[in-house]
Amino acid sequence: MKNTEGSSEAKRRAGEHAADLVDDGDVVGLGTGSTAAHAIRALGRAVDSGLDVRGIPTSFQSRQLALDAGIPLTSLDAVDGVDIAIDGADQVAERNDGGFDLVKGGGAAHAREKIVDAAAERFVVVADPSKLVDPLDYPVPVEVLPDARPTVAGTVRALGGEPTLRAAAHKDGPVVTDNGNVVLDCDFGPIEDPATLASELAALPGVVEQGLFVGLADAVHVGSADGVEVRG
């Protein structure tokens, strides 16, 4: 399940703009997806030019990209904190209090993304304009232990959602996450109260992580053909 709209130029601008926020000595959370990949490549170029950073990847994909880009890697248990995390989103809704709610997990990486993004002093979202919505209505990715798939799916239906087991793109069978689990994409239509839905989903036995990131992001860098708008 993935929103494939949005120009790659807009994504590039957003990713590169956010990478500029990284300071010498920073520990950086490296998000997952095509927009975050632009930030990782830009950081790699900065490392080539002498910037001293350590990255914490949020997925197998971002780890591989960072290694290819020459970014030294570390892990949460080896650092005192994360200075900044740069990550993409499937949808972004601005809240009344000026914060942001997100749906993430189009790349099935939202469990590790949430750990790293939430740990960061500053969590910056990179997006193209197609990601900005009000309200959120993207199917919420829910990573579940394989044994819990039927029971979680049943409760999601009882909560008014329609769960779909995410299928692997290039082979038979379901997508398997970096953590060995499966993903239910749960369509609730417009989500008027993300905080309540997030709590309900998170409380279900067998749910490893759900893809609503409620109020976690500090800023959103929205790329376009003309430049980058910073919100927050």
- What residues act catalytically? 113
**Conformational region of residue 222, where left means phi above 0, alpha means psi within -120 to 50, and beta covers everything else:** beta
> Smaller CB distance to ligand 5RP: residue 110 or 221?
110
Residues 157-186, interacting with ligand 5RP (CB under 6 A) = none
> Smaller CB distance to ligand 5RP: residue 44 or 223?
223
User: What does the per-residue mask of binding to ligand 5RP show for 5-34, with x meaning CB under 6 A?
Assistant: --------------------------xxxx
Which residue intervals of the chain are DSSP H helices? 8-19, 34-48, 60-69, 110-119, 149-158, 194-202
> Smaller CB distance to ligand 5RP: residue 26 or 209?
209
Taking the complex as a whole, the smallest distance from the CB of residue 210 to ligand 5RP amounts, in Å, to 12
- Judged by CB under 6 A, which of 29, 44, 57, 107 binds ligand 5RP? 107
Taking the complex as a whole, the smallest distance from the CB of residue 89 to ligand 5RP amounts, in Å, to 6
Residue 222 sits at φ, ψ, to 5 deg, of: -105, 115
- Judged by CB under 6 A, which of 18, 53, 56, 109 binds ligand 5RP? 109
- Judged by CB under 6 A, which of 44, 55, 57, 105 binds ligand 5RP? 105
Residue 221 sits at φ, ψ, to 5 deg, of: -100, 115
In order, the DSSP letters of 40-74 are: HHHHHHHHHTT---EEEESSHHHHHHHHHHT--B-
Residue-wise over 198-217: b if at least 16 C-beta within 10 A, else e? bebbeebebbbbbbbbbebb
Sheet containing 207-210, strands listed edge to edge, beginning at the edge strand earlier in sequence: 162-165, 182-187, 140-144, 207-210
Residues 69-88, interacting with ligand 5RP (CB under 6 A) = 87-88
- Judged by CB under 6 A, which of 30, 35, 139, 198 binds ligand 5RP? 35
Binding residues with ligand 5RP: total (CB under 6 A):
19
* HSE-up (13 A, CA, CB side) for residue 143: 23
> Smaller CB distance to ligand 5RP: residue 40 or 148?
40
**Known binding positions for substrate:** 32-35, 87-90, 104-107, 131
What does the angle CA 221 – CA 20 – CA 214 come to, to the nearest 5 degrees? Answer: 35
**CA–CA distance, 15 with 34 (Å, rounded to integer):** 9
Taking the complex as a whole, the smallest distance from the CB of residue 211 to ligand 5RP amounts, in Å, to 7
Name the residues that contact ligand 5RP, by CB under 6 A.
2, 31-36, 87-90, 104-110, 113
